[in-house]
């Protein structure tokens, strides 16, 4: 299917304060439906009802739009992970922390796709070198919250004997696998959804936990 080419009514001048958000919302919708590669800045501009040169005044390239959407998704997730939920003192606490990540992805599938399920030049890539992490503040913040919580547990001798980076990345990749599959393959004959989620989170939590029940 091709991306839409119909033009929305042209926006009147004087709406610049809202225009950036309109561009981002339109891009997110188009990227989700058609894929980043299939959507052009001209089509995004048409969806918003502005000219292509006007769009460039806010975002010089499609990459910049993708980066902004990705950064926002990471920042929102980081905020939720760092929310006021109290210290983790038992296995259930680990599960609750992991559940925040899963709920975010399933409640915000469009944002999750852009942040975690897109590849290529339009979305920043996260590699394992520390310098790459430092170059991506939003990614670093999100990863850092999860890493920080697991490091606290590790400091108290409550996790398995594994270096903190590997431990964090094992937990992250396991959660991502669940979320991305539920988003990308809704037609698969999954087990009852809530049972599957709680079971998977229990498996992940028990995989990192070495404390008591």
Q: What is the pLDDT of residues 117-153, one digit of tens each?
A: 876 544 444 444 444 443 456 677 788 889 999 999 9
Looking at residue 134, its pLDDT comes to 39
Q: What is the mean pLDDT of the chain?
A: 84
Q: What percent of the chain has pLDDT over 90?
A: 58
Whether pTM > 0.95 for this model: the answer is no
pLDDT-derived band at 33, boundaries 50, 70, 90: confident
Q: In the predicted model, what is the mean pLDDT of residues 166-180?
A: 96
pLDDT-derived band at 186, boundaries 50, 70, 90: very high
Least confident of 18-22, 86-90, 171-175: 86-90
Q: What is the DSSP string of 47-69?
A: HHTS-HHHHHHH-SSHHHHHHHH
Closest CA to 113 of 192, 39, 29: 29
At 147 the three-state DSSP class reads: helix
pLDDT-derived band at 4, boundaries 50, 70, 90: low
8 Å CB contact between 62 and 40: yes
pLDDT-derived band at 85, boundaries 50, 70, 90: confident
Q: What percent of the chain has pLDDT over 70?
A: 81
At 159 the three-state DSSP class reads: strand
């Amino acid at each position: 299917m091709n991306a839409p080419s119909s033009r929305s009514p042209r926006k009147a001048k004087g709406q610049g304060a809202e225009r950036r958000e309109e561009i981002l919302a339109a891009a997110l919708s188009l990227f989700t439906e058609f894929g980043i590669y299939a959507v052009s800045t001209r089509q995004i501009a048409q969806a918003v009802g502005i000219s292509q040169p006007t769009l460039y005044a806010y975002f010089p390239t499609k990459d910049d739009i993708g980066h902004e959407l990705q950064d926002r998704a990471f920042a929102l997730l980081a905020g939720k992970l760092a929310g006021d939920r109290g210290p983790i003192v038992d296995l259930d606490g680990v599960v609750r922390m992991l559940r925040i990540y899963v709920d975010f992805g399933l409640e915000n599938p469009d944002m999750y796709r852009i942040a975690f399920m897109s590849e290529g030049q339009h979305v920043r890539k996260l590699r394992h070198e520390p310098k790459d992490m430092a170059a991506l503040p939003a990614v670093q913040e999100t990863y850092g919250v999860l890493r920080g919580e697991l490091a606290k547990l590790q400091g108290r001798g409550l996790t398995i004997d594994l270096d903190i980076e590997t431990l964090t990345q094992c937990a992250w990749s396991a959660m991502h696998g669940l979320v991305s599959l539920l988003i990308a393959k809704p037609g698969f004959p999954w087990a009852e959804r809530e049972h599957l989620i709680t079971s998977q989170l229990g498996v992940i939590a028990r995989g990192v936990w070495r404390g008591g029940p």
